[in-house]
Amino acid sequence: MAHTKAQGSTRQQGNRHGKHRGVKKYDGEVVSSGTILVRQLGAVIRAGANVGVGKDFTLFATMPGVVKYYNLTKDKKAVKVITTVEA
């Protein structure tokens, strides 16, 4: 039996580029309409008032205002955009 691996298969793959996920706008920051707030894998942070959800679970502002993160339950978070009228 052969003691070495057959040719055509690699043992190590090259490095992959990062996906640039994470929070893009933090609590208290002023945003305009359409600004990306969070890029995430799955619905880790939920969408609150004035926040839309993209097909890849990206959260974005639908109205201009101030970003506010808050807890829904002990382990669930959400983000909303408070407009100047609400403040």
pLDDT per residue over 33-77, tens digit each? Answer: 999 999 999 999 999 999 999 999 999 999 999 999 999 999 999
> Strand ranges (DSSP E) for the chain?
22-23, 30-31, 36-39, 45-47, 51-53, 59-61, 65-71, 77-82
* Res. 6 pLDDT band, cuts 50 70 90: low
Instruction: Give dist(CA 69, CA 27) in Å, integer.
Output: 6
**What is the pLDDT at residue 30?**
96
pLDDT score of 2 = 63
pLDDT of residue 11: 72
> Does the pLDDT value for residue 9 go beyond 70?
no
The answer, yes or no, to whether residue 31 has pLDDT greater than 60, is yes
For residues 80 and 50, is the Cβ–Cβ distance under 8 A? yes
How many angstroms separate the CA atoms of 39 and 25, rounded?
10
pLDDT for residue 1 is more than 70:
no
Side chain identity at residue 68, one-letter code: K
Instruction: For each of the domains in the chain, give its residue range(s) and CATH number, in order of start.
Output: 22-82 (2.40.50.100)
